[in-house]
Structure 1
Amino acid sequence: MNLPIIQPYLFFNGRCEEAINFYQTALDAKVDMVMKFSDSPEPPPPGMIPEGWEDKVMHASFTFEGNIVMASDGCEAQGGYAGFSLSLSVASAEEAKRYFDALSEGGEVTMPLGETFWSPIFGMLKDKFGVAWMVGVHVEPPAGC
């Protein structure tokens, strides 16, 4: 692995297992590992996690087409996503539509799939967990750009 790398780490505020199952279906993601708070070799400090979260996900990772995404329920029962989107670039319009439709199930389309000046098909959505996605076909820039 060449360093440095940037990997998304998503916090699902108590819904991590549900999210992982969703991404397994929507993206054909493969789960690499899941560790619950109760599996930790050291207990969390008192008051660090909400009462009853022992069986929530402390750390997980899944892989989609060689991309690693890390996830957790986090340490609090609140949260949200703001100020970023995960950008999914694919090779064809058919792939873009398939992933867009799967990710938007139960979520909110913020920009329907359509042609743009930078991509033959591009759209934006928030999935049912509030994670923002931009889905489009990757186009190589012209030589010299």
Structure 2
Amino acid sequence: MSPIHAYLTFDGNAAEAMRFYEKTLGGKMHMMMTMGEAPGAEQFPPGAANRIMHAALTYGDGMLMASDTMPGQAYEGMKGFGVALTIETVADAQRVFNAFADGGNVTMPFGKTFWVEAFGMVTDRFGTPWLINGGKPLV
């Protein structure tokens, strides 16, 4: 069975978000295809050509995938989930947390916990909720 990977949906800014995640997580973008580059692109509504059909980014042992909504499609934002990261060192976890917090919303400050050396929750400027564990497990 394969691991579970997150698939995020954005409203026209998937390319910007995924490039930010690539840089912040030290990952590698394996695919980023616009709707205009996809087979059958002529079937998409006007304004869809520059939106992301599919993007795939690997980081460590994980994969993050994303796409954009179609133009005019109702977008309610991301809710009801969080993308959990476990980062080997507290310092690197703090760096990632701070990058996501820049322009975002901290819902739980990064700090010591009983299960791991440090943990924090933040929703980044693109609307993605993150749960970041850093350092060694304590339980």
Unaligned residue ranges in structure 1 (runs of 5+): none
Deviations 1:36-70 (A, max 9, x none): 11111123756xx5x31211111111111131111
Deviations 1:1-53 (A, max 9, x none): xx24321110111001110121122112211011111111123756xx5x312
Provide the TM-score with structure 1 as the length reference.
0.84
2:32 equivalent among 34, 41, 44: 34
1:141: how far off?
A: 6.6
One-letter amino acid matched to 2:16:
E
Alignment of 1:82-93 (within 5 A): 82-93=79-90
Q: Greater strand share, 1 or 2?
A: 2
Alignment of 1:1-145 (within 5 A): 3-43=1-41, 45=43, 49=45, 51-75=46-70, 76=73, 78-137=75-134, 139-140=136-137
Distance in 2 between the 1:44 and 1:88 partners?
38
Which is higher, the Rg of structure 1 or of structure 2? 1
Q: How many matched pairs? A: 137
One-letter amino acid matched to 2:3:
I
Distance in 2 between the 1:140 and 1:93 partners?
11
**Counterpart secondary structure, 2:75:** coil
Q: What percent of counterpart residues are identical?
A: 36
Q: Please tell me the root mean square deviation across aligned C-alpha atoms, in Å.
A: 1.9
